[in-house]
Chains A and B, each alone.
Chain A
Amino acid sequence: MDVTDVQRLPAEQRFADELVRLRDNDKNDRPKGWQLSPRAVRSFVLGDSKLDVSQKFFGDDPLVDRCIVSLMGQQGLMLVGEPGTAKSLLSELLSAAISGDSNLVVQGSAGILEDHLRYGWNYALLLAEGPSERALVASPVLTAMRDGKVARLEELTRCAPEVQDAMISLLSEKTISIPELGPGQEVRATPGFNVIGTANLRDRGVHDMSSALKRRFNFETVQPIADREFEKALVARQVAERMAEHPRATELDEKVVDVLVAVFRDLRTGTTEEGATVATPNSVMSTAEAVNVAHAAALDAYYLDGAKTSTSHIARQIRGVVFKDDPEDARRFRSYIDQIAKARMKRDKAWSEFYKAAKKDLGSL
């Protein structure tokens, strides 16, 4: 298979040349088991113009520092925050830089069993040979322990509480015993082993984390992007990437992105740029959701309307994509439309179209 045909390569392959440059120029001490020194890891994530290393994570440099230092210690690192704040990306970048391997991932879900965190068996071999090293199927966590690498646990709060409990002993003992292979058989974590978890503490349908588990992690909250212009650029870029499959659709107008990002920021922060306060909805008003809205609006405009994407398409999509099932949120959105969007109608056509379409969508004008 041609590699370029893969949808997405892991970070250590995408940025292989940068990692090499960083390693070659790395003069600082490396913690045991680490591929790079902490300072070089920082450069990999936050960029280094001298070595032509690109910046990959934006908005909170001290957070990256804290993450790296956390991983040098005994505690695991837990990244939390709204969906769409690049938690997984950060986790991937850190493990790629520290271990040179970002593939030791357990994707959390209700279907995860303790075995997925420890080890399983190749049953054909198990029946044929009995328990042996060869028949053992190591979990990503076990592999990371053995090789001194960073294991990643995505969406940990989606796992059942008993699976989360299994993590407690893994993180405190840093060993996995394998009684099937004989008494005293165990894998002890070699230097360099640590765990990066990501979790969503806000969604409904996730499990709470026990405080015993919380104590074993250092928490870092990844915040939504603070810089308005940067958020606009990011939305435009991501929508363009998604719309690449539909080459004949036109690009998003800057005005449209402007209105979209303004609406999302107002509702996310609870304060408009004019300083008026608005009720914030329970729904997640993340940048990722803004991209989803813009994407849906662009598809709507291109395939159903045959027109250029306008703010009225945004208005039509926003309720379906964001305010899915909460009547309170619909109410908050209506008051936003009535009081904030209406006042901005005078400003320009984009806002006026947005207001009219949203009002129509809400069913009364």
Chain B
Amino acid sequence: MVEAAEFESVRAALRQTGRDYYLAPIRHHSPACAWAVRELIREVKPKQVLIEAPVDLVGHIDILLDAETRPPVAIATIVEKQKTARLAAYYPFCTHSPEYVALVEGRKQGAELVFIDLPAADKAMSARQTERPSLVVDDEAVFDRGDYIEGLCRELGCRDGFELWDHLFESRLGNSDWQSLLADIGAYCAALRHATAPEIIESSGDAAREAHMQAVIAEALEADGPVVVVAGGFHIPALVDAGTGKPAKRPRGEKAVTNAYLIRYGFGALDALNGYGAGLPQPGYYDYLWHRANAADGEPPWRETALDLVSEFAAKLRALGHPVSVPAQVEILRAAEGLAAMRGRRGAGRHDLIDAVRTALVKGEVGAREIWTERLLEFLRGTAIGDVPASAGSPPIVEDARLRARALRIDVSDGSRRRRRLDIRRKPSHLEASRYFRAMTLLDTRFAELETGPDFLNNVNTSRLFEEWSFAWSPLAEGRLIELAVHGDNLPDACLHLLESRRAELHDAGRGRDIVAISGLLVEGILAGLGIRLVPFLDSLAEDIQANADFELVARTLRRIHYIAEAGGPLRIPDELELVSLQQTAYGRLIYLCDDLPGTPEEQEQGRMEALRLMVELLRDPSSDIFDSSLFNEAINRVADANPPPQLLGAVLAICVQAGRRDVAEICGAIAGGFAGTVDEQEDRIGVLRGMLFTAPELLWRSETVLQVVDTLLTGMSEDEFLELLPHIRLAFTSLNPRDADKLAGLLAAIHGGRVTDFSSRSHQLTDADLQRGIEIEKSLRESLKADALETWLEAKA
């Protein structure tokens, strides 16, 4: 087969003794590769070690190898182009990373250390990072996907590319035959490359990077041998012939300034990136293997390693209050070794351990994500955080905050306190500045303080046109930003993380159902200018709404979201941020919850009445055409049939009548029925009426029949009954606004004859004598109270 021959040729070309040229194909963070690379450098004693990393980071080698540097650490690169800065990538190094081992061993052998990839700013370096910036350069996706990997997995009974890699290569860590390990990886990667379309290699920027690497290698080969190249396996087939053709010219990288910082990195952060194809997951596990192999100076003792891992895992769980019995530990180990034997492995690998824990510890039915496995993965992930010398500089988020401030002409060059007045509604640049201040405030940096301005969260002074801020850059702000560096490389990312963690805090505090508070976080996010980045937050908010069972809260949240969706000014959302589906979710949930209304407990009645009124107002709003009002009306119609408390009955009947689903006669009947019926409390007699007045008072004057019925009932009462009910009647009619009250008075006057003023003016005719008498009565009352030592009553009232 042509292909097989091609792969074999790569295998043979890894050691070109004639040219003193040696290649080590690697996978990032693979201890097996690291071991082989170290052996290769020890054997060859190269004059130059060439490593796949951006050429302009070469200045960081010394600090990487500084005595104070302790991996895991990462070089974070920030690229500034046309006044904008963005974090291009992280280049993480663990103790067991082949690149790091190559640096350490190369330096020991006195070799020159060279980085050979394109400059970090080159666009070929970010071609694969369209969706999410700020990731490790991703050139390892090929290890996990594709037909070749899937075919091999099927053949060897592995579930994915990770298990396949461990099965084929990681199991050979520390093996004395490291040469054939490298050769096999070379052949494997040649096959992977063969299965990748040339267009993809071109468009992903790999071709440009390899051209650069070839040129640098050619220069190195001319200069002084032996030369060792340590590069991602995928690139190796393109590098074996470097320096043999016509002398390639080193392509010039793009003009851009790169700032790079060596920062502390952690296994947690490293593992979080694994989904994007950057090396092997659960770095803690591989680190452990690496150390065991080093201690044994050869293959790690697989059985003892597994045993130690299991007992350490059990000890950790016991400390957390989840003890694992000794028989269960024995069963984990037995299952792990059984699985490894059945799968044809030297010893229990990562997947065998994961499966074994699942087998031995799970008792009962579980989902795909299961707590024991999660605990093991967390254990295998490790918690180590590296250390960098003090001279390493500051992390990206600090730079980001400074650059943004500079772009907005916010002076952060020194620590003095300044003031700024922002015209947030008319000047876009001022709005941007306001967002910056809000973001910094959200992040709790104590950088800026709002002195006056609108408060959108509590709906106070929202029509104000100006904001006044005072601000000052301080070490405190910088310290807080460094603290936040792990959560993002720029302000928006960190803000987003903060919103998410606040939401999580609400959940933890048992306030997960307080969706009004959670939607308040959304308001804060919009004010901080997060815009389109809020999409994931919207999703989690949708989940919270969907899980909420409180009619009132859902209605209030819906109103708030609708308000945001319609808002202009600082709260205006970008066009790409779509709130319609979130509103639909809330609306759908509300309709679902309508069926709870009939069983409303007394203490929630008022809240739900208000929620109903909110909904009626919302659906009447012209901007609410995104909601299918027929669903609401239909649900309310169901409620009316399900015997709700009187007040709610009045409210829902009124909505039904307004929507044309029920006849006016029905509500009249209900009002009359309430009056005539037996009740526990007097006020319940006018419950239906009160409900109607609350949600749709206009029925009273739109429909003569309703007015007639109410009038007849009230006038038909005896004086005593009327007086007893009067306070409740007054309360019910407070939901009318003054204009409506006047209108109603006019209608009533027309029915009973006469003019409105005939009724109203009479009660206000007081003479001076009346006033005098009143003052006297009050005086004597005060004295009488004072005599009884009850003057505090008066104070309390005042």
Contact = CB atoms under 8 A, between A and B. Distances in A.
A215 B363 contact: yes
A219 interface: yes
A80 interface: yes
Contacts of B331: 73, 75, 218
B359 A279 contact: no
A364 interface: yes
Interface in A63-84: 65-66, 68-70, 72-73, 75, 80-81
Contacts of B367: 221, 223
Nearest to B342: A38
Given A69-B342, A72-B338, A277 B364 contact: no
A338 B335 contact: no
B546 A201 contact: no
Interface stretch (B259-267, B587-595, B649-657, B719-727): B587-595
A339 B584 contact: yes
Given A73-B338, A218-B331, A276 B591 contact: no
Interface in B182-219: none
A39 B539 contact: no
Interface string B607-651: 000000000000000000000100100100010000000000000
Contacts of B358: 66
B731 interface: no
A226 B564 CA distance: 38
A65 B365 contact: no
Interface string B520-552: 000000000000000000010011001000000
A255 interface: no
Contacts of B344: 39
Nearest to B325: A215
A279 B365 contact: no
B342 A68 contact: yes
A2 B585 CA distance: 60
A331 B539 CA distance: 24
B711 interface: no
A169 B256 CA distance: 75
Contacts of A279: 546, 592
Contact of A73 (B335, B343, B546, B588): B335
Given A62-B159, A66-B335, A73-B335, A219 B588 contact: no
Given A38-B342, A42-B342, A201-B364, A65 B595 contact: no
A217 B539 CA distance: 40
Given A279-B592, A338-B631, A364-B634, A66 B339 contact: yes
Interface in B545-594: 546, 581, 584-585, 588, 591-592
Contact of A69 (B339, B351, B543, B588): B339
A69 B342 CA distance: 8
Interface residues of B, number: 39
A70 B592 CA distance: 46
A339 B588 contact: yes
A342 B595 CA distance: 19
A178 B777 CA distance: 104
B395 to A, nearest CB: 34
A38 B368 CA distance: 25
A324 interface: no
B355 interface: yes
A211 B325 CA distance: 14
A66 to B, nearest CB: 5
Given A72-B338, A81-B365, A338 B588 contact: yes
A269 B159 CA distance: 23
A80 B331 CA distance: 20
A201 B365 contact: yes
B360 interface: yes
Contacts of A277: 542-543, 546, 585
B534 to A, nearest CB: 15
Interface in A33-75: 38-39, 42, 46, 61-62, 65-66, 68-70, 72-73, 75
Given A218-B331, A276-B581, A277-B543, A69 B363 contact: no
B673 to A, nearest CB: 25
A270 B640 CA distance: 30
A42 B154 CA distance: 13
Interface string B340-372: 011110000001000110111011111110000
A94 to B, nearest CB: 14
B157 interface: yes
Given A218-B359, A220-B359, A70 B335 contact: yes
Contacts of A42: 157, 342
Contacts of A66: 335, 339, 355-356, 358-359
A275 B581 CA distance: 10
B355 A62 contact: yes
A275 B542 CA distance: 10
Contacts of B425: none
A219 B628 CA distance: 47
A68 B338 CA distance: 9
Interface string A332-344: 1001001100100
Interface in A263-285: 275-279
Interface in A213-232: 214-215, 217-221, 223
A219 B339 contact: no
B334 interface: yes
A202 interface: yes
Contacts of A81: 365
Contacts of A364: 634, 638
B335 A335 contact: no
A62 B588 contact: no
Given A65-B355, A201-B365, A275-B539, A331 B592 contact: yes
Interface centre among B342, B365, B366 (most CB of A within 10 A): B365
Contacts of A220: 359, 362
Given A223-B368, A275-B539, A335-B588, A214 B363 contact: yes
B115 to A, nearest CB: 40
B346 to A, nearest CB: 16
Given A69-B338, A69-B339, A331 B595 contact: yes
A219 B159 CA distance: 20
Contacts of A65: 157, 339, 342-343, 355
Contact of A338 (B342, B543, B591): B591
Contacts of B581: 276
Nearest to A41: B342
B150 to A, nearest CB: 13
A278 B159 CA distance: 31
Contact of B335 (A69, A202, A278, A332): A69
B417 to A, nearest CB: 46
A224 to B, nearest CB: 10
Contacts of A332: 592
Interface centre among A66, A80, A81, A201 (most CB of B within 10 A): A66
B414 to A, nearest CB: 48
Contacts of B584: 276, 339
B572 to A, nearest CB: 25
A69 B339 CA distance: 6
A338 to B, nearest CB: 6
B542 A61 contact: no
Interface in B492-523: none
Contact of A219 (B343, B364, B539): B364
Contacts of B342: 38-39, 42, 65, 68-69
27 contacts: A38-B341, A62-B159, A65-B157, A66-B358, A66-B359, A69-B338, A69-B355, A70-B335, A72-B338, A80-B364, A81-B365, A201-B364, A202-B365, A217-B363, A218-B335, A219-B362, A219-B364, A219-B365, A220-B362, A223-B367, A276-B581, A277-B543, A279-B592, A331-B592, A335-B591, A338-B591, A339-B588
Nearest 3 Cβ contacts at the A-B interface: A69-B338, A339-B588, A277-B546
Given A62-B159, A73-B331, 15 more contacts: A61-B159, A66-B355, A201-B364, A215-B363, A217-B363, A218-B359, A219-B362, A219-B364, A219-B365, A220-B359, A277-B542, A277-B546, A332-B592, A338-B591, A364-B634
